[in-house]
Structure 1
């Protein structure tokens, strides 16, 4: 018995340095908008879930990072990185052709390709004959957009003469105002009404989507343009690129019914 005890103590002291010097997991704080962006980022039973959440969780787990979610209003997202309150921003959509000087945006860190479409009151759908291209056919319509959103920047940059209403501050306000005839059309991503209808089912009955795409862009996980931010962006991109070729990636896209949003094909 004494011999077994000494053997146990010897093994304990041999492995103690390994346990004592093991590096703790790196904390990795990701900004998400404090809103319901179903099916990409939303709360369920008090916990964050969704297409982006599952992907980021999978990648950070492989990197040995302990991910935490910082839910804040969208206008504060960049400042959270500047103040070093967070390491990255999820669901960062860029306007085509616009350079983000303070962020690292890598092609391999694109989470999905958002598609912008128009929404209109169901009873007014016959008034609109839009087949894509420019906005010349919509010159007489006032388009509602979210103030400070990528659609705001896009319209200002490429269609400065189009009549727009920038009163709405989120999708809930945008669709409620559209249902109240505050403007003729609402511009949002293709899943926006589906997201809001989870809490406001009446809006899905009053409004309808014009399926012809108007514009598309890229949704990134964006990193701060610092030495550490660049390193983390490269590490994330390397693992993400390999992850896109696995069955786990496609299981996530199928889980949320987003096969068409996958960056690669199985």
Structure 2
């Protein structure tokens, strides 16, 4: 695990620390420790020392509604997953709610709906979507659920799937022609390509819509926090806050499932 801090760093009034296990802040508010990556645009990223992003805005609104104080714990994605498993953090944003993950965690109601998409080199004119991937190699970020989403759409295992640690490593492999395509979240790919000027382009239609919710461990603390956070999410959906934050970042409302997935 690569922790990207050595102590408490104050960012926008929030504490970034992976070592403090205190559950109550000096203000008397209960602390919720949230894992995040510093280069997870558009969900969470550092901008001149300040943590910003779609999931940052959502979780901040949830904490305010639930009277919780956030302690952001920064690491790479593999480190975030390890911290969640070992109890060093309480939850993490942009985490798909899947049957496999439900075996380990209890989830809140979703705060947005995530779709997968493919990206290829901007000079690739042969791949236009999933239908063109037979016999091709697709890369995914290690620990990402999008690898599993791709498998759902490849029941005959005609696509070779490989994983790399770190989104930049995956993007470079695709750009250099070492692999044919990159599977990740639609908004993640669009955001990363735009923000970093990556020599990639998204192709085909989004697929495999999944609800993204906040996971909590199956213990007494996890259940208590999950109930408080779940109530806050429902209130934020009812008062339009989830929709407003989604439209701020994506110019569309991702807080509700697409029409074809209503009632799933």
- TM norm structure 2: 0.77
Q: 2:78–2:142: 8 Å Cα contact kept in structure 1?
A: no
Distance 2:124 2:231 in 1: 48
Matches within 5 A, 1:8-87: 24-32=28-36, 34-87=37-90
Greater percentage in strand: 2
User: For structure 1, which runs of at least 5 residues remain unmatched after alignment?
Assistant: 1-21
Distance 1:164 1:177 in 2: 14
| Bigger radius of gyration among the two | 1
Q: 1:172–1:196: 8 Å Cα contact kept in structure 2?
A: no
**What is the number of equivalent residue pairs in this alignment?**
232
Aligned partner (choices 140, 147, 150) of residue 145 of structure 1: 140
Look up the match of 2:21: none
Distance 1:250 1:168 in 2: 33
Look up the match of 1:235: 228
Deviations 1:79-105 (A, max 9, x none): 42454322222221244x424322111
Deviation at 1:199? 5.7
Greater percentage in helix: 1
**Quick one: structure 1 residues 105 and 82, their matched pair in 2 at CA, closer, same or farther if it must change by over 3 Å?**
same
Distance 2:231 2:209 in 1: 25
Distance 1:217 1:77 in 2: 20
Look up the match of 1:213: 206
Look up the match of 1:102: 104
Deviations 1:88-131 (A, max 9, x none): 22221244x4243221113x2x1211111111223322x2344x
Look up the match of 1:117: 117
Look up the match of 2:173: 177
Q: Where in structure 1 do 4 or more consecutive aligned residues deviate above 6 Å?
A: none
Aligned partner (choices 180, 188, 191) of residue 192 of structure 1: 188
User: For structure 2, which runs of at least 5 residues remain unmatched after alignment?
Assistant: 1-25, 259-264
Instruction: Supply the RMSD in Å over aligned alpha carbons.
Output: 2.7
Distance 2:85 2:128 in 1: 45
Distance 1:128 1:82 in 2: 37
Q: 2:97–2:107: 8 Å Cα contact kept in structure 1?
A: no
Distance 2:257 2:239 in 1: 10
**Quick one: structure 1 residues 214 and 63, their matched pair in 2 at CA, closer, same or farther if it must change by over 3 Å?**
closer
Deviations 1:129-157 (A, max 9, x none): 44xxxx56421322122233212334456
Deviations 1:31-64 (A, max 9, x none): 11x2422222111221211111111111211222
Deviation at 1:241? 0.4
